Amino acid sequence: MVMAGVVGGAVALGGGGTASLDALSALRSRPAQTSKSSARNVEVRTFARLKIKGYQVKQNSRSQFGSCKDKAYGQVERFFAAHPCRSLHRFMAELVSPSGISVLVAVSVVDMPNAASAAEFKDLVDVHGTGNVLELPKEMRRYRTVEFTGYRYGSRQDDTLVTNVQVEPFGRSRSAAIAAEVLSLALEAK
């Protein structure tokens, strides 16, 4: 299986391509925010960045939970049983590119008790096949058939926050290039 993750400023994609994340390394040097409101800020900034680039938000939804274990699967669920998170914020959107191509983006922002446990969580979730936080679209009837493969995946750690982004082409016109652009823009939003 091909693993996708942030490696040296690029996001590896399942087809062997990469999406540039030059801005990601610059963002890493900013001071981290660890309040619950900073998880919401990730959402606001993600959508703002996408709208600036001409994407239309066709559908969007969000949820916040205190327990990560109840909304995780695989080894990630077992990790949260042993290392509870402070909070979980998930959001998703169906986006339409300026060229009319739809993609589905699912984001989770996990706030861990300390930076060490956040790093441990990120190391685990970045390994393809270890599980993840349940993608919010899986809980919505319209999107249940969308399979998040992990090939268009990226994550970022900011002190105690770990942001995890997955993007899948959706609808009749499927474009890996548009999915890669959305992934890059979502990871840059801090």
pTM for this predicted structure: 0.72
Decide which of 44 and 160 is more confident.
160
Summarize pLDDT for 9-30 with one digit per residue, the tens.
223 222 222 232 232 232 233 3
Summarize pLDDT for 40-59 with one digit per residue, the tens.
778 888 888 888 888 888 76
For tokens 């349940």, name the residue.
134
pLDDT at 36 over 60: no
Share of the chain above pLDDT 70, in %: 73
pLDDT, residue 174, reads: 63
